[in-house]
Amino acid sequence: MQGRGMEPLDIRRARVTDGFWMRAMELVRTQVIPYQWAALNDRVEGAEKSWWMHNMRAAARAIQRRKAGQWQPRTGEAAFVSQPAGAPDPDRFYGWVFQDSDGYKWLEAVSYSLMTHPDPALQATAQEAVDAIRAAQEDDGYLDTYYTLNGIDRRFTNLKDHHELYCFGHLTEAAVAWRQATGRDDLLETAVRFADCIAAHIGPGEGQKRGYPGHEIAEMALVRLWQETGEERFLRQAAYYVNERGREPNYFAEEIRRSREAGVEQSDWGAAGRYAYYQAHKPVRDQDEVLGHAVRAMYLYSGAADVARLTGDEALRAACDRVWHSTVSEKMYITGGVGATHVGEAFSLPFDLPNDAAYSETCAAIGLVFFARRMLQLKPDSRYADVMELALYNTVLAGMALDGQSFFYVNPLEVNPAACHADERLQHVKPVRQKWFGCACCPPNIARTVASLSAYAWSQTPDVLYTHLYVAGEVDAALNGQPLRLKFDAGLPWQGEVTVTVTGGEAEGVLAFRKPGWAREAEITIPAGFQLEEKDGYWHVSGPWKPGDTVRIALPLPVRAVAAHPAVREDAGLAAFMRGPVVYCAEEKDNGPALHLLRVKPAEAAAAAETEETEIGGLPVTALVLPAARESAGENASLYRDWQPPVTVPVRLKLIPYFAWANRGEGEMRVWLRTE
Amino acid sequence: MQGRGMEPLDIRRARVTDGFWMRAMELVRTQVIPYQWAALNDRVEGAEKSWWMHNMRAAARAIQRRKAGQWQPRTGEAAFVSQPAGAPDPDRFYGWVFQDSDGYKWLEAVSYSLMTHPDPALQATAQEAVDAIRAAQEDDGYLDTYYTLNGIDRRFTNLKDHHELYCFGHLTEAAVAWRQATGRDDLLETAVRFADCIAAHIGPGEGQKRGYPGHEIAEMALVRLWQETGEERFLRQAAYYVNERGREPNYFAEEIRRSREAGVEQSDWGAAGRYAYYQAHKPVRDQDEVLGHAVRAMYLYSGAADVARLTGDEALRAACDRVWHSTVSEKMYITGGVGATHVGEAFSLPFDLPNDAAYSETCAAIGLVFFARRMLQLKPDSRYADVMELALYNTVLAGMALDGQSFFYVNPLEVNPAACHADERLQHVKPVRQKWFGCACCPPNIARTVASLSAYAWSQTPDVLYTHLYVAGEVDAALNGQPLRLKFDAGLPWQGEVTVTVTGGEAEGVLAFRKPGWAREAEITIPAGFQLEEKDGYWHVSGPWKPGDTVRIALPLPVRAVAAHPAVREDAGLAAFMRGPVVYCAEEKDNGPALHLLRVKPAEAAAAAETEETEIGGLPVTALVLPAARESAGENASLYRDWQPPVTVPVRLKLIPYFAWANRGEGEMRVWLRTE
């Protein structure tokens, strides 16, 4: 366990009471978790079917029948199996090849919720899911309903696209959380057995397949499994995946060749890009530019940062640094969204960040949150936390409606509903959130992220407690082995006064508080006689802490006008507005249609902006009202005419937080506004 | 023949000597026509194969063998047949289902060239093509190598997608031109026999298929066939196609149903849009908005305008008017390009005119030229001619390199080569012209259009000669039956002094000269004692014309800054520059990279613009040099930062004609420039 350095706070040691975040967490607990359970059991009217429980039960039966010699596997290699006309076949796999993972993500979210909000009824429901999973596990530990139902002999022959190791990763994340929440070993045992089954087939040893996940996450998950069990072999397997990836001969190319030799056609999607779609175009430690499928990439580099930290691998750490730079300096939306193109749900060229055709998948922003936290663990620099916060407050939250009942997969920064409906080039962009997707990665991913917020807000080394996000709540920290209870009072993102009070325990050590990048004029007040040092964007306050000690932090929240790098063509001549970590947008509901005709003088508008307390979907939010001009819509103008200075009228522009958009019906939306 | 009204000038009555256009016509004659002949015979190294002559010869052999009972047809329904590894099968159809049409378009271009530039060697080569076509015709007149080779019993079962009537249309256009050029009836007889074969199967009669072309052009072609032969049945068939289209029950839906009943899968592409892709979503006379595949649409409405004029059908004429308005007032690029989306090569929503993702197919602009000329024939209003001229000088010419050796299918208004190469969303956009396409509609279509320029420049009623385009040359007109020879001196698009001199004959009547929409300050000087009347954008000059009579027209060519309608989101805050009919663009070659950082004050820049005579690809062109500002590229800027007024440096911006872009290597290009 040496060299672990900074670890996120154990969720069980925090109690979030924050008005803003509690609402999201309560939505997850009271709306999303029950809704998703219904979805996993195909009980949501009008939503695409999940098939999760169906597949688990079918697999369990198949295993029993196979033992009794009564099972004839189907042989299909389709990544998606749709329900035929008529009733579903109870013994058949349906849905996407990665469908198992949806239930695992749900279980993980449930576990975080149980940690802070015990609920015997919910735990009993979750136990049903755990039992179903366990029943679907093969005797040798293998667990993937797709192959159990479609031909167990074909398992591990399409690591590239068939997601067995991805499902394993989500299972493991769930198993660790489930044990931490309930103390129960059952799902962890399942995960360990699957891990050992995989490691028996895939690895660097003789006779093994030198493969690695087509969709990463197992790397991060194995690290957690190591941390939970103390079994070094799991860390070694994680390191093996990271180190083997992208080496020549390319495993995916080999896999396709072998598959075709066996008479099974396998897609060579990504071959032209040398499998950059899968981040397998060259060894991870040689990578510079972030490429390919955005969720895959974020999950990989999260795992790679874990491995770099835990094995002291400096070359790998340097690669993570380079890729981080490529991500946040060239390929990230102002909302913390990543993956600009729907083609392959992928990163586009540097600085190619279209607003209306954006992909910016919710899960990719969640992946960026994971990556950022792990970069923070490598080095506590507030710039990583700035990005983590940006993605959380904007794209991750935007992914879920304010009633917790519908979700965005894609998060555009500009929407014209008429174009979304009629233009097939924008068919991935939805102007309103959807109930549930056949490919439902985002809703349960939002749930597990929001439910584990405290693991992002705070982290610990033996002698330092870091506060990354100012979330109201109570924390049981430990400094140099001495317990210390802290109370955080905060009202972000709407107001910036933070008070941290020691409410119990006495300890020597450092409380480190992030000075957000957006808070240039931030001030801190510390107890008399304490030491204050500013380092890498954190105030390090050291002292002998005792009850009653108070730290006050003032984070002014002026409205800021923001410009993008001049290389971002799509944002040339445009400005966006932020306040604290929150990105704002204009909606048609407040400002009428044709938002592209609105123009602002950015600096003047920011200075003159007024805040307006309002409510959207039941959530109190701070809106902004600022001076702008609206160009004439020229209804009777000809298509082309002699240029004339545009005729404008002054208007009061109302902006709302981006995460709250599309909660008041369908309409235009725009983050980046034209300047004058 | 009553009610014909205005007809284009017979090409044989004009001799174009215009420096600008002669160069393009000579390129067609000396480069394009020989090159395309080589392509049709698959003799161009490195170009995709045409298979045209291959298919003709294979079909001719198949017909003979079938008669001898020695032919087993293939049964394939693929719209494209690719060459397998190894040598091609000499008896097999290859290429697209519409491949026959490429040779017909070539023959049409050859014919126009022969009309004004007799060339026995070329005529002999063309005769080879004519003979090959005739040999491939079935005894009952049917002529389509795809079905002759793949199963003649399946003919006319997929009018929607299999282009038999499209190929017929191009054959007919070629046949009429070939007869006019050579006096030979051979190809016309072939076309007439095919027309009669089609009419025997498709039409309003009992037992006939109530079908119509999936890809229109037969409508226009049948009108020409009627004009050339005087046989009314061809005009009736054209009117039938226009009138039947889009009626319920929808023929294409019926065809799919029948095809599936016969066990042949047929794509239902377009079904969701009720076949608007094919302009078959409702009866033509009920249509308002221009929809669907842009070339199909332009060809349809061209034919519909012909039918409306020739049958005096006012309701159809009104529909043509509405669709024209939809096209040019809501869906046309400033370059005269139409069809904004690559999805279906189609019209997008009103005012959706993206510059970098534009489709704007060369053939669609050619179709717009056809449509415009036919609207002019319905009513001589210079606004139609303005559009015709715009499309010709900009998109049609841009389709061909200045050396006549490579071609654009897609004509973007903004190009970033790096994005075109890496971004699959832009895979249809090529930053440099291509040699020859497998789907090679555009090159021969450019050839036949340019070669027949005089039919667009002038048209005639019995007592009026209309001049639509100012092209230097000589014309043998006839006013009220009296011959009149005219000489046109003009230097457009670079200089605007036009002189028209009567050089022979004496006649009473009107010479009508277009006052271009771009020439607000135009002036005309007429012989003393003549009458001058301005009507619908034409100066009508009447007098007793005699040799030596001279009309002088001064068309000032100031540089104009142009704005798009405020509803065009993609052009908000942007300006383009024109001079006369020519649209200008900035290229990286002259202005460095990152053209999106250039800003102009449109009115001031236009006023201060200087012309610069230069040469591009051997063509003398007038470039523009105007004051602009370049924003800092901010190399070391962060991706997002506090908005600051952009730092700019003054620059001299050089603009070249849009049609001349991409003739000096690969680089950025931009028509619409940011304003300040």
Alpha carbon distances (Å) from B404 to B18, B102, B114, B389, B390:
18, 17, 18, 20, 20
Q: A47-66 in b/e burial notation, b at 16+ Cβ within 10 A?
A: bbbbbbbbbbbbbbbbbeee
Closest CA to A290 of A321, A320, A316, A326: A326
Partner A contacted by B58 (CB < 8 A): no
pLDDT in tens, A519-567: 999 999 999 999 999 999 999 999 999 999 999 999 999 999 999 999 9
Chain A hits for B348, Cβ within 8 Å: 422-423
Q: What percent of chain A has pLDDT over 70?
A: 98
CB contact (8 A) between residue A603 and residue B425: no
- Catalytic-labelled residue, pool B320, B363, B441, B442: B441
Across A377-387, average pLDDT:
97
- Known catalytic membership, residue A585: no
Closest residue in chain A to residue B517, using alpha carbons only: A641
Report the interhelical angle of B186-201 vs B120-135 (nearest 10°). 30
Q: What is the pLDDT of residue A266?
A: 82
Q: What is the pLDDT of residue B637?
A: 85
Q: What is the pLDDT of residue A208?
A: 96
Q: Scanning the structure block, which residue is given the tokens 């070669």?
A: B451
CA dist., res. B156 & res. B138, Å (int)? 14
Q: What is the pLDDT of residue B608?
A: 98
- d(CA A676, nearest CA chain B) in Å: 8
Partner B contacted by A560 (CB < 8 A): yes
CA dist., res. A214 & res. A267, Å (int)? 13
- Known catalytic membership, residue B441: yes
DSSP SS3 for B490: strand
Please, is A356 exposed, middle or buried when counting C-beta atoms within 10 Å of its C-beta (0-12, 13-18, 19+)? buried
CB contact (8 A) between residue B565 and residue A341: no
Residue B501 CB neighbours (<10 A): 16
CA dist., res. A657 & res. A578, Å (int)? 9
The answer to whether the CB of A334 falls within 8 A of the CB of A414 is: no
Mean pLDDT of all residues belonging to chain A: 94
Report the interhelical angle of A362-378 vs A314-330 (nearest 10°). 140
Alpha carbon distances (Å) from B74 to B32, B62, B92, B324:
34, 11, 8, 43
CB contact (8 A) between residue A565 and residue B597: no
CB-side exposure of B68: number of CA atoms within 13 Å?
A: 8
Q: What is the pLDDT of residue A76?
A: 63
Residue A1 in this model has a pLDDT that exceeds 50: no
pLDDT in tens, A638-655: 999 999 999 999 999 999
Chain B hits for A330, Cβ within 8 Å: 639
CA dist., res. B13 & res. B399, Å (int)? 27
Q: What percent of chain A has pLDDT over 90?
A: 87
CA dist., res. A674 & res. B414, Å (int)? 20
DSSP SS3 for B517: coil
CA dist., res. A199 & res. A208, Å (int)? 9
The answer to whether the CB of A599 falls within 8 A of the CB of B572 is: no
- Catalytic-labelled residue, pool A216, A255, A345, A588: A345
With residue A2 as reference, give the H or E element that holds it. Answer: none
CB pairs under 8 A between A and B: 144
- d(CA A330, nearest CA chain B) in Å: 6
Residue A262 in this model has a pLDDT that exceeds 80: yes
Chain B hits for A632, Cβ within 8 Å: 566
ipTM for the assembly = 0.94
CB contact (8 A) between residue A561 and residue B422: no
CB contact (8 A) between residue B423 and residue A357: no
B667 φ/ψ angles, rounded to the nearest 5 degrees: -175, 175
With residue B35 as reference, give the H or E element that holds it. Answer: helix B33-40
Which residues of chain B are under the pLDDT cut of 70?
Answer: 1-4, 75-77, 436-439
Pairing of strands A507-514, A464-467: parallel
Start-to-end C-alpha separation, chain B: 58
Q: What is the pLDDT of residue B75?
A: 62
pLDDT level of residue A427 (50, 70, 90 thresholds) = confident
The answer to whether the CB of A42 falls within 8 A of the CB of A418 is: no
Say which amino acid occupies B288.
Answer: D
- Catalytic-labelled residue, pool A441, A442, A570, A588: A441
pLDDT in tens, A299-355: 999 999 999 999 999 999 999 999 999 999 999 999 999 999 999 999 999 999 999
Residue B216, sorted as left (phi over 0), alpha (psi -120 to 50) or beta, turns out to be: beta
pLDDT in tens, A271-308: 888 899 999 999 999 999 999 999 999 999 999 999 99
DSSP structure class, residue B426: G
The DSSP bridge partners found for residue B293 are B346
Q: What is the pLDDT of residue B476?
A: 96
| CB interface of B with A, residues 608-647, below 8 Å | 631-634, 637-646
CB contact (8 A) between residue B594 and residue A567: yes
With residue B596 as reference, give the H or E element that holds it. Answer: none
Closest CA to A586 of A596, A573, A574: A596
Best interface-test mutation with A: which of B352, B643, B673 has the largest number of A CBs within 10 A?
B643
Residue A86 in this model has a pLDDT that exceeds 80: yes
Question: Does residue A493 have a cis peptide bond before it, meaning omega lies within 30 degrees of 0?
Answer: yes
Give me A564's structure tokens. Answer: 């993008």
Q: What is the pLDDT of residue B2?
A: 36
CB-side exposure of B162: number of CA atoms within 13 Å?
A: 26
**Which of B425, B565, B645 faces A637 most closely, judged by CB atoms?**
B565
Q: What is the pLDDT of residue A352?
A: 96
Q: What is the pLDDT of residue A355?
A: 97
Closest CA to B76 of B162, B200, B182: B162
Partner A contacted by B423 (CB < 8 A): yes
pLDDT in tens, A111-127: 999 998 999 999 999 99
Closest residue in chain A to residue B630, using alpha carbons only: A566
Q: What is the pLDDT of residue A3?
A: 41
> Which residues does B478 contact at the CB level (< 8 Å), separation at least 6?
B460, B484, B507
